[in-house]
Amino acid sequence: MTAQIINGEQVARDLRKQLKEEVAFLKQEKGIVPGLAIVVVRSPFARMHVARLKERTCRQLGIKCEIIYLSETTTDEEIIYRIERLNDDRNIHGINIHPLTPHLSHTLISQQVDPEKDVEALHFLNMGDFLIGRPRMVPFVASGIMKLIEATGINLEGKRAVVVGRSQLVGKPLAFLLLERNATVSICHSVTADLDSYTKKADLLVVAAGHPRTITSRMVKEGAVVIDVGVNQIGSHLIGDVDYEDVKNIASWITPVPGGVGPVTIAMLLDNLIKAARNS
């Protein structure tokens, strides 16, 4: 079997078309131009190229975007001070904080974002609403992954879904969304004993571990849908967490890296931003 490729670029293009129409409507009907602030602490963790890609996408859609660059030696206090100013800025409707260096606390910092501007859905108020099934904001990486799963047409009811990775941003919210679709979900992590015994049974396998070749074909069930969230820089190349060339011979559907999850997550971040602007 050779897997069909889940075309994240195409899914993202369709989403961006809808978003562009919504932005134009907001501008025309309410005089609102959605504004996104991205806080980037310069470091190898920061995914600066993604911040620039977000900025470019905002421009294409008619959204205002401001990137705030801070030095690698910045402190939690300085970031919180910047966030408080963004909270008070009427032209900013959403705040996105890029991955921070380990000496900074994303959890603490996320709680300082005005919940109305929390487009990452990491504030405990938004997370609480999400977990009781009445979300104001849905964590955008997880909702992007759901769009890709929907693109395959797989009916998740009663299916075994395995999520490798339990981060606050990806693994945990995704597992919850899959559960809401009546999949039976296992969450695996770095301390999971015998990872293969879980992945091998998965009808849907989502991998967000952050390590290349975490998943090879012998760990995948024949005909599984495989979503690779990982982005790993190897020299000048980006590769995922799944051994794509190997696994594509056994999966029914697979996402490429790049061109899979990444483009869709940016669109879903902007979807949250437009919601926030509409409610402002």
Q: Could you say which residues in the range 259-278 bind ligand NAP, by CB under 6 A?
A: 261-262, 265
Q: Least distance from C-beta 103 to ligand NAP, angstroms? A: 16
> For the chain, how far is it from start to end, CA to CA, in angstroms?
50
Binding-site member from 40, 65, 79, 208 for ligand NAP (CB under 6 A): 208
Q: How far apart are CA 38 and CA 214, in angstroms?
A: 30
Q: How far apart are CA 279 and CA 235, in angstroms?
A: 43
Q: How far apart are CA 225 and CA 153, in angstroms?
A: 10
Kindly tell me which of 136 and 211 has the beta carbon lying closer to ligand NAP. 211
Q: Could you say which residues in the range 212-231 bind ligand NAP, by CB under 6 A?
A: 214, 229-231
Contact (CB, 8 A) for 68 and 76? no
DSSP letter, residue 181: T
Kindly tell me which of 26 and 61 has the beta carbon lying closer to ligand NAP. 61
Q: Least distance from C-beta 225 to ligand NAP, angstroms? A: 17
Q: Least distance from C-beta 29 to ligand NAP, angstroms? A: 31
> Which x/- pattern over 150-189 shows residues binding ligand NAP (rule: CB under 6 A)?
--------------xxxx-xxx----------------xx
Contact (CB, 8 A) for 222 and 204? no
In single-letter form, the type of residue at position 57 comes to T
Q: Least distance from C-beta 161 to ligand NAP, angstroms? A: 15
Contact (CB, 8 A) for 108 and 140? no
Q: How far apart are CA 97 and CA 119, in angstroms?
A: 10
> Which x/- pattern over 113-152 shows residues binding ligand NAP (rule: CB under 6 A)?
----------------------------x-----------
Kindly tell me which of 63 and 187 has the beta carbon lying closer to ligand NAP. 187
